[in-house]
Structure formats: C-alpha cells, structure tokens
Structure 1
Amino acid sequence: MKDYSPHVNAVQAVDPFWLDFWCSEKSEQERILSWIRNGGRKLSSFLEETKILTDFFGEGHV
C-alpha cells in the first residue's frame, strides 16, 4: 500500500452519505470521525487498520 504523506485534509472530503454507506455501525463512523478530528495518522495506516476501502472495493483495488 502506498504511503500518503503529508496527511490529506480529510475533513473536507468526508461525505456523510458514503460514511453511512461504508459504516454499518455508528461506532465505526465515530472511529473515522474521531481519527479525522484528531489530525489522523498516515492514510495507509488508517486504511490498513479499518480495512473499509478494501472491504468495499475488494482486494487489489486499494
């Protein structure tokens, strides 16, 4: 997985519809929003930890 540095300004990129679509549970949504509010870590670590995009798009597409 690529290393995305510097951090992406994800606050402006979050669309509530997709957040609802990706996250079936409110706890998952809170986890993402908390990560964004706290400035995040490297995007690759975030995606690896949550696996949201991998689960959504399938292996090999992220």
Structure 2
Amino acid sequence: MSPLRAFFLALVNSGTVNIALPSIMNDLQTNVNSIQWIVTGFMLAIGSIARKTNA
C-alpha cells in the first residue's frame, strides 16, 4: 500500500474517533484529559498495526 493511501486511512480513522469523542466521554463519564490518552492509544495501535502489515 502506498504511503499516501496509508496516510489517508489514518486520517479517516482519527476523524471517526474524533466524531465519536462526545459519546465516548458520556459513556465513560470522563473528562478531556482522559480522552486524550484514549485517542493517543488508539492512534498508536493503528500506527503499529499499519506498520506490521505494511499498510
């Protein structure tokens, strides 16, 4: 997969998470500081999976 395609997929994934953040915050009853850790963990997981699968 080309680097441009991988970048686009990461952008779409992060956009999806950002749209879902208010619902995640309500469901977990948490604040913005905790949500930043969730988003960081999600993006690290996506990045490592993409790296290992040569995406």
Greater radius of gyration (CA): 2
**Could you tell me the TM-score, scaled by structure 2's length?**
0.35
More relative contact order, 1 or 2 (CA 8 Å, 6+ apart): 2
**Could you tell me the TM-score, scaled by structure 1's length?**
0.33
